[in-house]
Structures are given as structure tokens and as C-alpha cells.
Structure 1
């Protein structure tokens, strides 16, 4: 009997964290049908979750700096989780849920890596006391309210990573309150995005006719050595108030009896609660619970207690608000816990966190944030506004970008040496796994310097072997994974393209060449199709010629050839081109079954081992998908590629995965009955033993919906013009992570905040038809819809901004407006929607720029007479 049949429907809904089946249907409308499809294209409004709709309880938006641990912003504005103490546990909430049926070969117990937080979402994890409250004196009455779910008639959460806005509403108060919560997040500025701090910025407006007095107070428990030093004689907790010209702060520290022992723990360090500005009073010992009577400040500057006692510090800031006026109160919470933790066992980890290069303790973080608050907050909000100021749908912009928040969780680390290091998901599967992280398109576009360093330091350094193979988990697993190998070569091309000059390619070309040659060498019979059994992302060694691996390797070798050509290594470029031509021809001829691409078994071993064989596998044209991300053009026949994608849509996408899941067992619960998704593998030909003659636990993967793979397919669908399908698939994931059901910011695969989910950014890239090559000064835009009224953000090697195009009176206007940094350009490729180009003009401000316009089919290539260097707030305009 299928395990699903053994679960009562009401128990199934209960364990999934839902209330009733009817509510689920009502909360997340179906996406099928003409009306629903049209709605997907509409701009709409920011996704807003409401207390009144019971949509706040699972929200956990990461609001700490990247690579600084995990601090969650809850739906009501409270901070929770606080995974900043270097425990590196598996999952945001290590737990076991009895799912009631067998998962893979592990029995019925579901752990964090198997989807425990998908079926039973985490909430309300509060290892320390922290919060904010407001006291209001209005018309002779004093009102005290916590910024807490229970204290407001309505709370609205606007889900706009990296800065969320929360509205607090009390119908009886003539006061609007808006909280903007974030950590500094500035694309291309990885250092100022790597600050261990979270900022809570309150904005209050008196909408009444009489003045009111308010005081906002924040509090924070001293959690330094909270978990390691628990006995009275272990030492003293100390809170100390200090005032500077830019902030008022309470520093939390620990004075240990055994200093060496205390300093060697993951929770050793310091914390700081700060008010940005001077109009505040610090409270070294704040008492909870409080009321209007004890909403007070201390007259001392320091307090201490024994290690086994709780010590809470606070800061209060008051103001008088006249009718119609608005005030702001900015608070920051910083932390500094230098020890990475023993579970990450590489030499670089012993040096501590990357932020140690800039900050000696939490007060130093507070000093820096306060001194640079205008820049840090201003650039973060500028990026947020730039990202969401688009003609693309709000929900689409949210889903394709929000997964980069995994960098601000304990999935992702950066050590003092500068080395980046990551689990696959929080605390699970170590070592920057190449066959997972090669799907993640976001980092290379938002923080390209991090990815360049990771390629050079790890993939082409620590992990590169004499034969060109790249260890797929660094020091943790000294084998190459063939898909990870190919993805890293493709990543090298992306990192080169996202550079301002040729330094990265010139420095690393000998190593890139070896890594590319390694791929060529895995084609034992010389037909251009990799056939060497090797590890892949589905955790098994497959025999034969496997379409998704063959295609990925063809794309990687084509990337190698492009880089060889740029390095004037013509003989190697010819070798790569020969491999690509042969492989593409044979893949199309041999591995296409008339509908989709397949896995041809090994001639000797046959189907004795696991594989995808004649089945419809989600990654079957992954190589072509990757090719669109880096401007490589086609590696597979267009008609056959479209046919393969249509097959995936026909056989693998399901508006309700329930019936399919009832027929199979062993899958992990990343999509549940009643939810839409694209499953990994299907058997359209109804073959017996479609995945091989020997049952293995890895077969459970084939029945799952894993968002990273789904996003990869969505990006490819978008690239090929199948925009309806791309949007429906992306929306299916978006709906599975609706806040009524689970945390919208935590796409789960093998544990929480899974790295592969950052493939979602690739769908944004292909929606814009974006290509870029920094060293060549080349950029391209070819939007997939709304061509006559399109607007979207873009990032380049050294700058970011807004691109827009429109048509007025038969004239196409294309504008690149730089908001940050600088941008060198010489060639711009655009699409034409008029039949024939008559003339063109390029302007920077009032200055006309000499340029040549060349029509190439439906495209126009604009070549400037010499490179131009746009600076912040400059715009380049092209008229056709």
C-alpha cells in the first residue's frame, strides 16, 4: 500500500502546518486558466502578509549581514532564531518529525535535511530576550504597546528582501507606525554587506489634531557565553552604557573566571544594542515584564550578574510629535562571535569570521554602523527600490531574488582569510559542493568578487588536481563530480564576464584550461559525449551517456573554447570547438528519442545501475540552460530543445503532485498533495524498472519537487520564449512558500536555505534577455514581454542601476540609468520591434555620442566610437 494512503487527510494537513484544506485553497489560488495566467503577468503590488489572515507566524526573513549567522525578522517585527553562536547545527531547528511513511532508506522519521521544516515549519524560536515597545502619552492617557503580534489590531508585513516594511495599526490611535528592518546589503560591496548587525528603523506620524509624546524602548539580553558558561562561578555578565557623538549603546560582555575556556567557545564574544544618534538613554539592567509604571531608565551606567543569571540591557528614546509631523528612531543590534565552530573543519575556519578583519568587537561594529549609517542604510534602500521598481511582476521579483538571503544564514560562511565556504543547506553537506552550488546564479551577479575568489582560491586552487579534476567538496571529498566540474568551468566564464577587465581570466587561464581538458578526457570513445562513470548531484555514479551530463559538459567545453579564444590560445580553442561540434551533433542524433533527451545505457553494464534511461528527467537540457546564462548561444537543436521542455511540461509539471506521489514512495516532502510543482523524473513510456534494474535509495529523488531544479527549468523556459510556463512554474514555487503555509524566505531541499535555490535569479536574467561582458564593454537586453514598456534592474562588474525601454511615436528609446558605481560600455545589443531601422542616436545627458548602428535580423548592435564610462546618476540613452 502507498504510504500516502495510510495518512488521514486531517492528520496530513495538521502535520503540514495548515489549518484546513479549504483555507489552503482559498489562501493560495490556483494558477491554471486564462484569468489566472493573465494575472501572472500583471505588475501587481508588493506581496503583503496580514495578521488578520493568520499569515505572520512562520515568516523568518534573514536580516543580519551576509556570512554573519542567522537572525530572523518575524512577521510582527520581532527578531527570532538568533543562530549567531557558531553551533552549525543541521537545520534552523534540528528536529525529527514522524511523517508516517518511509523516506528514502531512512524509515519514517523526517529530519531537517529531509524536509522536517517543510511539513512542520519552525516558529517562535527565541533563545534570548529581545524586543521593542512604545509608550504613548496622548490626550491625558498613557498607552504602552509592545511591537508584538498580540498588541495591535492589524500588522502588515511587506516581503521585500533585503529590507522589509512592517505596519502596526491600532484603529483607536491617530498614529501610523512603520518599521523598516534590514542589514546593510549593497550589491558589489561584499564588505559593507558583511556586517554583523541588524537595523530596526521606526517611522512614526501623528495623524491627529493634537500633539503626542512617545518613547520607544528596545531591550536585549546579554547572551555572551550564555550556553557555555552556565554556573554562577563561571564568571560575570556585564552590561555597560557608553555614549558617543554618533550613538548611544549598551555593550554586553562576559568576564570569565577561566578566560581561556570561555574564549574558546562558539558563543564567546560581545553584543551591542544601539540607538543611532544621541537622543537616547541607555539602561544597563532592564526589567521584564514592564508596564507604564516601570517603563523607565536606569541612573547607572553599568550592571553585572553571575553567569547563571539573566541580564537585559535597554535603550529608550523619546520625542514629541506635532500633528501631521513624522519622526524616525533608528536602532541597531550588533554582535561579534569570532569562533567559527568545530563542525567546519578546514584550516581557514580556525582564523575566525571575515568580519574580524574590520571589527574587534560589537562596540566597534556599532561605531562603524553609526558613523556610516546614512551610506549603509541609503544604499541598501536604494538597491531595494531599484530592484522592485520594475515592470516585471512584484511576486516574480520577490521570488527570483529572495533566495540570495541564504547568504545571510548559517548556510554560508566567509573566513578571516577571505575564503568563502558553505554547506548545501544549513548545517548539512559541507564544502561548497560543486554539483549543488553551480546552479546558484545569484551570487555571481550580486557579489561577483566573492565568486571570483571562490573559483580562484578553491576550485582552481585547493581543489584542482594535476589531471584537472576539481574536488567537489574541497577537502571533504577528494573526488570530482562531473556535473560540478562542468558547472565550475561555466562559472569561470561568468566570473570573467562579470569582471571589469581580463585580470581574472589571465591569472587563472592555465588552471581553467586544465579543468576544461579534464572534461574532454572523460569522453572515452571520442564521440563528444562524456561516458566516464563519475559522481553527480543525485548522489550516485551513473554509467552510460546521460543527456543532462553530456549537454552540461558540451556547454562547459564551449565556455572553455570561448575563454581560450580570448586568451589567443587558438589550438586549445580549436580542440574545444571540435569537441562541441561533435558532441552537439551526436547528442541531438543519439540521445533524443523523438520527444525528449534520454540516458543511453552503458553497452556492457546496461541498466544494472541507477539512471534516467528513457525517462523524462528535469535536467535533460541543463547545458543549454546554462549556455543562456553566459551568452553561449545554442548547443542543442532548437526544435529538439523546445520539444524536451514541452515534454517536461507535459509529463513532469503537475498542478497537484498528490496523485503522482501516491504512486511512489521514498520521496522527501518538498511539495505536498494539493500543491503544484515539477517532479524530477517521470516514466512516460511506462517501462518496467525505468530507473535501473536494482532499487536504490537515490530513486526517491526522482519523485520529489526540489526548487533549485525547478528554477533552473523555469529560467530555460523563459530563455526559449515559453514565458507562460516559466511564470507558472515559478509561481508554483512561490505559492508553496506562501506565508500562510511556511516561511517564504526558506526554500528547503537538503536542509534549510538551500544553496541551489539561488538558481531562481537565472529566471530573472532570462526574463530580461540579459547578457554582459565587462572586459569587452558589452551589454545586451532582450526582454521576453512588455517590450514596448519594460523596466528592470541590472548589475555589472562595478555598477548597478535601472534599464528601461519604450516606444513613443515610432521611436524606440533605451535607457541605462546608473544608480551605483561605474560602468564601461562600448557595445550594446538591443532588439528591434519595428520592421526596419531608419537611424539612431546615443546620448549621455545633453552630449551626443558617436556610434554605429548595425541591424542584424531583429537585433541592432550599437557600437560606440570609443568606450564610455558612466558614473553614478548618469544615463545613457539610445534612440532608434
Structure 2
């Protein structure tokens, strides 16, 4: 005992150094902390809101908090943002006073009061159990590492959470699994004996019947049966390890009040390794124990693996067509034989046991490949704020924002409400912004195009911009979204160039033409080359009259259609004429000498007046609104405003490889105006009667619109005063593409400063819900800085660096991923997985050899 105490004294000196150099207490005031460096560890108050998603594409998730806690447990095919069940790992060191602690940092102060149940003392949680004094967190997606330190515990400890993520391998990225690897090292000069444990109440329990705890090798399964009335309740969550010394307690002490947790903690403290078999009927909780001994300098890792299986849901969205219309629909567009959504993994696996077996046997291989991706991604010279922004938002793919149907097709929410997805249907005008999936998992992205053009489009060419779930045809009773539908045409071009699959393009080309012809007929019936008739868009309203934003989409779609049509030897002369007219109109009639704007027009159109048209929209006209209409025109326009999305279609065109469509000087001028007028570093005096919590007070942010030259409307479009995640990234990357790197990086920094962990989760950029899809625009920053893209049709690698002749960046294509860059102006490619068939390399317009 004296020897251990002596060693602990010396070990405490070592810990003091670590604490001083960056592992401060989480609940210290931010004023006492230095500003955190981008792409670095989170500690002190920056650890406050960390919750790092772990899970699979469309498979559900858990979150590893910066402290090491598990929260946001959302494994039942829907988000459960505040689901933090009583589940925890613990360490008990033999012969050490206060040597038993939960393997987590201190509970953040914001959890003490204000959350559901906190007014009653947070009963049922593990918050009252001893924890480590200090914690820090480092993200290296898809890995997140928590480091723990405490004077009482003579061990160096870190926790690495992860789940598979290998670009190009969509199936293994869609598994309902995750892992926490607990690593222990003995830095002392004496032997240490300890017991690791993982402990959980049955948080899969739904009601009082049909729940129990099942056995699995070296672990347990929290289980709930389904019923005839509620089959979606069926579900299991397995926790298991691979250590031969594992002991499992399948049933905690049964009793009233808090007896089960009280006795469970007593067993942990006393290192009482209870080996109890499963019982028939409900069990309050279970534990697994791994005893181990470490000699001086020795290390040990306990791999705690999770797998879950919830094969049924009650999710069904969308209005089915009338019987007469349904009969006209092709059977090829029909979905799976289920009235409700079925997750992809339920078709691959038939039980929780099958998931466990697959995860156990494939663990090492999937970890190795995921680590190759992570190491490659972070082996870069790009600015740290960019690396952080891109990686942090890739976590969206591991959240319930993204669903994957049993037949493999993607279907997505816009974001996650607290207990349900928010804004359904792979909304085309929101997912326009997202740039990650088409490069990392292009096969999955193509399923979205196939749904848009084969399922969600009717014989007129009208697309519903919110797809039904399960994926199937539905009624077409609302406006098409101009930006969503036209953006889809540009994305068809992108998918073609990324895949090189002209056969795929040829199959969908008739529907693409049908879609574009509908857009022309509906919004540009006079053939001016601009959208003049009222057109619904991402702001959930209709713009009346031609505007820069949606016209940029129109010109981009026309350009894409011309290139695709010519490749298929189709007549695209009409599209070319409209493009020429539209470009001239936009550059002369929608440009004020500094930025593009909107000509509000509501008379002389084919559409009825705004009051009549509003009957088929999200708003109507009161008596007061009608009076305002006569003075200013329709509600919810932007007129002479400087719109951050004002040339959004041109950015998407660049992301898709379509090049410059309008005068680059005017496009650049618009983007600089957005930076000048809309970027704010302090919003203290900014008025926002809409949804202010995205950015407020001392926060900075990029406003959606300002009116620097006057002409502000009384009721501009409904989100005009807000700061939206994703808009900042598309503007920043577009600025970079035009050579304005400093301005782009400034916007990125302002955004990431809001998500520094003190008040907001750095891995959850939100708008209409948590983990909002538009934040995946951040992936476009890579292309913005480097100009790197691969055209599989031409077998050409393009590089157009805006950061000099020496850089290294991550790059992914259909057939593999690796690093790409310039060294003294000479291009290089290092494939880390897969291959890339390169016949030509173009560096800033000049062909060069690798």
C-alpha cells in the first residue's frame, strides 16, 4: 500500500503538467481560457457541448460526448436527442483510495438543471457517481478520442469511439454498429490490478412487457419484443468485448427505488464480478467485467463493441396518388413490399445475433480501412479551419438525418427534431447544397437522382421536392421547387462525370429533358431565359419576377442539359438559345454594378395575382397584407437586397464541373459584396424576429440578406434576417474558387467560432433541426481551395489551386481515394485505396504530366 501511495504522489506531479497545458476543468468560465485553435483538441469550457455521432448511414447512432459519456441514443430509426440512458463504463483500481470511477469527465454544468427530469433531481441517471476530474477530446473523423486524467487514478486513459467509414464502401458505412476502445497504460513503477466494467439499464425497454436481457458471447443484449399492435417496438442493443476473462452479470439486483444502481455500483467498487445467467422476464440492467493486471509500462485496450437491430418502423410519409392516377404509374417505380419504412440493414441481417457476428468478425478489417481514410484525410496542408469544418460535418452522415431504405436507396430528412426527423423527403432544394455524398459514396448519391426523375416526377415533368417514404409515387398537389428541380439537372451532370457511366445517363435523359421542359413551360413561358413566373424555392415562398438566385440555377441547368444532350447526340438548340438570352438578361437587367438582385414583378404574368396564388402556398393575404401588396408588391421577396444565395446556382455549377456560366468578374463582385455587407462579427444589435438562436448576441455570422443601398421591404422573404448553416460554406468556397481565399476563410472561421463547444456542439450544425443537411456544403471547401475534381468521362484530373504551387489534400472518386496536390507546381496523386484511371492532368488550364 505504501508503495502505491508513493507512486501516486509522483504520478500526480506528471498529471499537473498535463492539466496546466490544456486539460482544464470543463466548467471553468470561458474568460479564463485562451481561444481554441482550429482542428485541435477540445478542453475546459470548449468540451461543454461535445457530442460526436457514432453509427451507420441510415442505421441510427449513439454519441460519444467529450467527457466520454454516451448520449443522443437514437437507434430506433428516429432521433432521440435527449435520450441519455443510464449506461456507463467504469474502472476500479485495487488498493487505491477513491480508485473507482465512471470512465467519464465531470458532468457539464448545463445538465444540472433545465433538462427534462432535472427538476426532480435527474433520477435514474448516473450523474451522482464519481468521475474523472479532467477530460479532453480530439476528433479525427470517424474517430473521436477522449482523454481522462485524475489524481486518484494511477493510469493513463483514453477512449476512442468510432464506426466504419470507408469512401466507396456504402454498405459497410451503413452498419448499425459502433465501438468504444478503452486504452489503459501503467506509467508507474509498480504493478496495477484493476477491473473494467460496462454497465447499462435496459434502455431498449418499451413499456412493462416483453423486455429482457439476452446473452451474447462476452456480453449482453438489451432486448424488447414487438407486439401485434406495435411490431416496431422489436429491438435489441448488444454490448460485448473480445476478452477471454470477461464475466457477465445478466441481471442487476431487483428491487424498488434506486436499489439496482446502488447495488451495481457497490459491486463495481468491491470488484465483485457477478457471473449471473439471464433470467426469464425483465431485468433492470446488466454489467460485463474485464479484470486485468498491468506491469510497469504495460498497456491494455478493452474493445467495447455495440450493435443494434430495430428492423421495423411505423414511418410512412406522403400522400398516395388517387386510384386512377396510380394505375398509370409504372411498376418499376414501386417501392418494397412494406407499408412502412424498413432500414437497409434489416435486409442484410435477420437478427441482432447476425449483426453481432458480422461486427465481431469484420472489426479489424473495417477499423484498418477506416483508419486509412482518417489518416489520409488529415494528412493535408489545407487550413485547419477548413479541415475542421469539413470533418465535423461529415458526422451528419452518421445521424438519423440520413435514412437508407431496405432496397439500398437513400432517403433523407433536412435535419433532426428532438424526437423525429424534421422536414421530410430528401428535400431537393436543401440537399442541393450537400457535396459530400456524391464524392465519398457516389453510388448512393445516384439513388437520389433516380428517385427524383423516376419516382417523384410525373408525366408533365413536375417533381415533388419531398419524396414519399417508403419511396413511392405520390400526389402532385403543390408547387415544384425551382431551385430544387433545376439543381437536380446539374447534379445529373455531376453524377455522370463522377461515374463515367453514360449508359446510366442515357436511361434517365428523357426524364431530365421532360423536367427541364416543364421548368421552361412553367416559369419561363415567354422564353426570356429567366424565371419570371412565381417560383417556389428554398425559402419556402415564391419569388415573383426574375432574380439572380433562381436564374443562376436556370442557366446552370441549361448548360448541363446542353452538355448532356450533345454527348447523347440530341438536339439542344432551344436550350442554347435560352442560355444566351438568359445570360444577357441577368448580366444587364439583374446586376446593379456590384451585385445581382431581383426585379419584383407581379403584373402581366400568366399566374393569377398573389392573393389568389397564395391559396396554394404556405401563407395567405390578410387585409393588411393586401394593402402592403398594393404599395410594395407580393410578400416575401428580396428586391434590391444583397442575397447571400444570389448566385447559388453558379456555385453548384462549379461544384458539378460545369465551369463559369456568367461573367466571372460580375460573379466575383457579387460574392465580395456578400462578404462586405452580410458578414457580421457581432450580432448584438442585429434585429431578427424570425429564428434567432442560429446566431445571436456576440456571435458572428453571414446574414442571408441585407439592403445596403436601401429598398428594404416591409416583409421580405421569411428567413431573411437569419444566419443559416451551409450558406456560409457555399459562399466561402465560391469565393475561394474565384481566388478570394482570405475572404472565404474569414467566413469559415466566423462560422466555426460559433460551434466551438462552449454553447453549441461542434459536430451538430443546425437549422431546421440538428445535423442539418445543408452543412454538407462544407465539403465544397476542398474544391474551392484546390480546384481538384476528376472527370471519369474524360479520364482527366483537374487542379486549379488557389493556395499556391505546394499543397496536399484529400480526394475521393468513384473508384478510390487518396491524396492529391502540387509539389513545386508539379501535380501528384497518391491513391491509398482503389485506383484512378488518369489519362490527362490539367493544372490551371494547362496539361501536365504526373
SS at match of 1:260: coil
| Within-5 A mapping of 1:404-483 | 404-426=394-416, 427-456=421-450, 458-475=451-468, 478=476, 479-483=479-483
RMSD, matched Cα? 2.5
Cα deviation for residue 269 of structure 1 reads 1.5
Q: How far apart are residue 164 of structure 1 and its match?
A: 0.5
Q: 1:271 aligns with which of 215, 237, 249?
A: 237
> How big is the shift at 1:395?
3.0
* TM alignment of 1:344-743, pairs within 5 A: 344=317, 350-426=340-416, 427-456=421-450, 458-475=451-468, 478=476, 479-521=479-521, 522-569=523-570, 571-572=571-572, 574-602=573-601, 604=603, 607-609=632-634, 610-661=636-687, 664-687=688-711, 690-691=712-713, 695=715, 699-743=717-761
Question: 2:228 aligned to 241, 247, 260, which one?
Answer: 260
Q: What secondary structure is seen at the aligned counterpart in 2 of 1:376?
A: helix
| Structure 1 residue aligned with 2:135 | 155
The separation in 2 between residues aligned to 1:411 and 1:582, in whole angstroms, is 40
Superposition deviation, residue 678 in structure 1: 1.0
Q: Tell me the CA shift for residue 650 of structure 1.
A: 1.6
Tell me, yes or no, if the aligned pair for 1:129 and 1:312 is still in contact at 8 Å: no
Whole-angstrom distance in 1 between the partners of 2:313 and 2:228: 16
Q: Please name the residue that 1:828 is paired with.
A: 841
Shift of 1:26: 6.8
In the TM superposition, what whole-angstrom CA distance separates every residue of 1:486-530 from its partner, at most 9, and x where no partner exists? Answer: 111111112112215333212222212222333333322222112
Q: Alignment partner for residue 81 of structure 1, among 63, 72, 76? A: 72
Corresponding position of 2:49:
58
Q: Where does residue 99 of structure 1 map in the other structure?
A: none
What's the CA shift for 1:667? 4.2
The alpha-carbon deviation at position 707 of structure 1 amounts to 1.3
Q: Which structure carries more strand by proportion? A: 1
Deviations 1:416-444 (A, max 9, x none): 12232222111221111111111111111
Look up the match of 1:303.
279
SS at match of 1:825: coil
Q: How far is the alpha carbon of 1:540 from its aligned partner? A: 1.1
User: Is residue 200–residue 287 contact of structure 2 (8 Å, CA) maintained in 1?
Assistant: yes
Tell me the distance in 1 between the aligned counterparts of 2:547 and 2:39.
42
Q: Deviations over 1:732-774 (max 9, x none)?
A: 1101111011111111111111111111111222112112212
- The alignment partner of 1:703 has SS state of coil
Residues matched between the structures, number:
735
Please tell me whether the aligned partners of residues 97 and 152 of structure 2 are also in contact (alpha carbons under 8 angstroms).
no
Tell me: CA distance 1:29–1:450, structure 2 relative to 1, closer, same or farther (3 Å). same
- Partner SS state of residue 581, structure 1: helix
Q: Give 1:344 deviation, angstroms.
A: 4.1
1:441-490 deviation digits (Å, cap 9, x = unpaired): 1111111111101111x101111122222211124773310000111111
Alpha-carbon offset, residue 798 of structure 1? 1.4
CA distance in 2, matches of 1:171, 1:392: 38
Shift of the alpha carbon at 1:195?
A: 0.9
In structure 1, stretches of 5+ residues that fail to align are 1-18, 31-43, 94-124, 832-855, 863-877
- TM-score, structure 2 as length reference: 0.82
Matched, 1:207 2:187: yes
Q: How does 1:137-156 map to 2 (within 5 A)?
A: 137=94, 143-150=99-106, 151-156=131-136
Question: What SS does the corresponding residue of 1:261 show, helix, strand or coil?
Answer: coil
Q: Does 2:266 align with 1:242?
A: no
Identify if the C-alpha distance between structure 1 residues 668 and 341 changes in structure 2 by more than 3 Å, giving closer, same or farther.
farther
TM-score (structure 1 length as normaliser): 0.79
Contact 1:404-1:443 at 8 Å conserved across structures: no
CA deviations on 1:575-617 (whole Å, 9 max, x unpaired) are 3333222211221011101111010122627951131111111
Change (3 A) 1:749 1:213: same
Show the counterpart of 2:249. Answer: 283
Whether the 8 Å CA contact 1:434–1:488 is kept in 2: the answer is yes
Larger mean CA deviation between 472-481 and 434-443 belongs to: 472-481
SS in 2 for 1:600: coil
CA displacement 1:223-277 (0-9 Å, x = unmatched): 33x23x22xxx33x3323333xxxx231232457xx4235x13x32111111135
What does residue 108 of structure 1 align with? none
Q: Does 1:860 align with 2:847?
A: yes
